[in-house]
Amino acid sequence: FLAMLPSNAAQAEDGYDLWLRHAPLEGEALDALTVRPLAVVSDQAGNATVDIALAELRAGLSNMTGRAVATAAEPGATLIALDCDHPQIADGGAFSLNGSSNGLTVYAFEPLGCLYGAYALLRDLAQGTPLGEIGYSDAPAMPLRMLNHWDNPDGHVERGYAGRSIFDWWHLPERLDQRMIDYARANASIGINGVVVNNVNARAFMLEPRYIVKLARLADAWRPYGIRVYLSARFSAPRDIGGLPTADPLDPAVRAWWKAKADEIYAAIPDFGGFLVKANSEGQPGPQDYGRTHADGANMMAEALGDRGTVIWRAFVYSEFDDTDRHAQAYAEFVPLDGQFAPNVIVQVKNGAIDFQPREPFHPMFGAMPNTRLMLEAQITKEYLGFASHLAFLAPMWEEVLEADTGHGATVAEVVAPVGMAGVANTGSDRNWSGSDFDQANWYAFGRLAWDPSLSSETIAREWAAQTFSRAPAFLDSVVPMMLGSREAVVDYMTPLGLAHLMDTGHHYGPAPWVCDLERPEWNPCYYHRADAHGIGFDRTERGTHALAQYAPSVAAQWADPATTDPIWLLWFHRVSWDHPMPSGRSLWAELVHRYDSGVAAVDAMAATWADLAPYVDAQRHRAVTENLAIQANEARWWRDASLAYWQSVNGRELPAGTPSPA
């Protein structure tokens, strides 16, 4: 029987351990931990969170060293001690790591700080840093670091590409899947502290008592990991499940219903985080159905929660009854409400004004609502970037947004830092959680950036790759640049030079710039590219839709003139002729062709790089990535060739001389 097992079964890797593999160390890093017996201790043992920190350290260290780790201090041992009520450290999860040749102490003000410190220590050790060289303090930059699951209670995940939902509502509350603990570990290891468990397109019945008991079981399991649960709440719930004739936020019976609902949830989950609400957006109900404003709706729910929780109100709104530029609608609806939202309301704003495209300029609402708590919403799941089969490391995209100067005296990161960041999760029931090994990096990167938005994409990629695959410098020096260029490759072969929303309708996977017959104009790709025989692009200047004027004057000025606009934003803000001269010296048409080709070439280069890295990666995961890169190489060509053929059908032009012929 044993002979039937594959010979490499012991080394098989299915990606389940994510970045928490804690692979065996070698060299100086190993020596520092093995010269003497190793012990991990804390005076606060017995606290659930401290116990998790201790268990994580003991398990991680024993994996990395191949030795047992003692649970009590013994003479002559290298001691790793957790001091979790140190008065000089801040609350909120801060910690300090102080290593020496004798061991290391993690200092924190509270157990959660010790847990974060333990994960940070494991991260450093797993990258090969010797124990005695570890010494620094760290604290989260943002109070709220959340995942938003677009998981439906029936197990289907909207825009999810990694299998079914990880939440097993059928068997809760009695049965808690081990995945729920492993998920909490992964999140806590990168500082995630809030989870919305259900889709923004919410079903009201998730608020019923039968689901509250299930949610309470999850809340109990995640509490020691510092994670609070939140629910997406359907605005019409008082009508849908409450038996009321209306959901008007100013109706006293509606207000009483939400208050009673909040009380009921808090009786079961004392630290319930609050509600996430998608209202009057894409057909969802909301206060405008009753002639009320977003502030009326949000404040009513905020009053029901009181100081126990937060209403997170989404700004992703655009309407079929509004024929102005979709880009301008959220700003137009929300900015006049600045200052009207209750203190426990947060307005959650997508990174850009359209919808999670491969590249969008930052949303003009950032910086424009100084009296409202704004939070950034990013999408970890790759709805418009090739799902889980295309390799695109998203940290550079988020870094681009976070670093953007809003022109209102702050970067986007500075605007949202007092509040937080939410990421639309990419997890599912696949063994590797995210549908592909490299998509795990996006989950990791989101958490790390929410913890510290000043971290560079390069640092994050290096940390992740070292923990996930191999800490060999030759591997990292090759895989990190590959990751850093991967998102730009997707931009180039899908939507170069500021083009957007050219994905096929509904599923958003392949190219369909030719689609122009959908009932709602703003769902048509042709709405966004506006190509004809003369030119291409969306004029958002004062000659066009004026959406550019929603940016602060200094920012609007950078993008006002096609001659001086950075080519990456050109067709986002301008409509130009096919002959428009580009900074490269090429015409716009030649430049477009060049960008599509660059995108395809970059994918081929990624495949070649990855092939060379086979010696550093276990066969199972190496092959899985190789096969995805083969899909991506085919589909990059599909995008380029279909897009160019369509543009040629519109502009009647030949491909510039020297263009490689289609596959």
Asked if 319 is part of the footprint of ligand GCU (rule: CB under 6 A), the reply reads: no
383 is catalytic: yes
Q: Is 400 among the residues known to form the active site?
A: no
- Which is the catalytic residue, given 296, 325, 383, 399? 383
Measured distance CA(16)–CA(237) in Å, rounded: 37
Query: 446 is written with which tokens?
Result: 């989101």
Tell me if 444 sits within 8 A of 467, measured CB to CB: no
587 binds ligand GCU (CB under 6 A): no
SS (H, E, C) 43-112: CCECEHHHHHHHHHHHHHHHHHHCCCCECCCCCCCEEEEEECCCCCCCCCCCEEEEEECCEEEEECCCHH
Distance in angstroms (rounded) separating the CA atoms of residues 273 and 384: 30
- Pick the closest to residue 426 from 109, 82, 46, 147 (CA basis): 147
Binding mask 299-318 for ligand GCU (x = CB under 6 A): -----------------x--
The residue (of 154 and 403) whose beta carbon lies closer to ligand GCU is 154
In this complex, which beta carbon is closest to ligand GCU, that of residue 261 or of residue 326?
A: 326
Give the Cα separation of 445 and 447 in Å (integer): 5
List the beta strands (DSSP E) in 334-456: 345-350, 374-379, 420-424
Report the residue number, 437 or 522, with the smaller CB distance to ligand GCU: 522
Least distance from ligand GCU to the Cβ atom of residue 117, Å: 35
Minimum gap (Å) between residue 318 Cβ and ligand GCU: 9
User: Whole-number minimum distance, CB 551 to ligand GCU, in Å?
Assistant: 22
Which amino acid, one-letter code, is at 369? M
Tell me how crowded residue 252 is: count the other CB atoms within 10 A of its CB: 8
Residues 365-404 touching ligand GCU, rule: CB under 6 A, are 383
Q: Which is nearer to ligand GCU, 278 or 448 (CB)?
A: 278
Catalytic residue among 182, 355, 504, 641: 355
Chain positions 326 to 365 lying near ligand GCU, rule: CB under 6 A, are 355
Distances 84 to 242, 379, 541 between C-alpha atoms, Å = 45, 34, 55
Tell me, what DSSP letter sits at residue 291? T
158 makes contact with ligand GCU (CB under 6 A): yes
- With respect to ligand GCU, which residue has the nearer C-beta, 501 or 574? 501
Please report, as residue ranges, which positions from 265 to 294 form the binding site for ligand GCU (by CB under 6 A): 278, 282
Pick the closer one to ligand GCU by CB: 125 or 349. 349
Instruction: Based on the residue annotation, tell me whether 627 is a catalytic residue of this protein.
Output: no
DSSP state of 150: -
Q: How far is the CB of 427 from ligand GCU (least distance, A)?
A: 16
CA–CA separation, 426 and 151 (whole Å) = 10
Which candidate in 14, 74, 91, 282 is catalytic?
282
Map the footprint of ligand GCU across residues 198-227, applying CB under 6 A: 200-201
Q: How far is the CB of 278 from ligand GCU (least distance, A)?
A: 5
Looking at beta carbons only, is 201 or 429 nearer to ligand GCU? 201
Of 294, 313, 286, nearest to 373 by C-alpha is 313
Shortest Å, Cβ 422 to ligand GCU: 11
Q: Which residues bind ligand GCU (CB under 6 A)?
A: 158-159, 200-201, 278, 282, 316, 355, 383
List, by residue number, the catalytic residues. 282, 355, 383
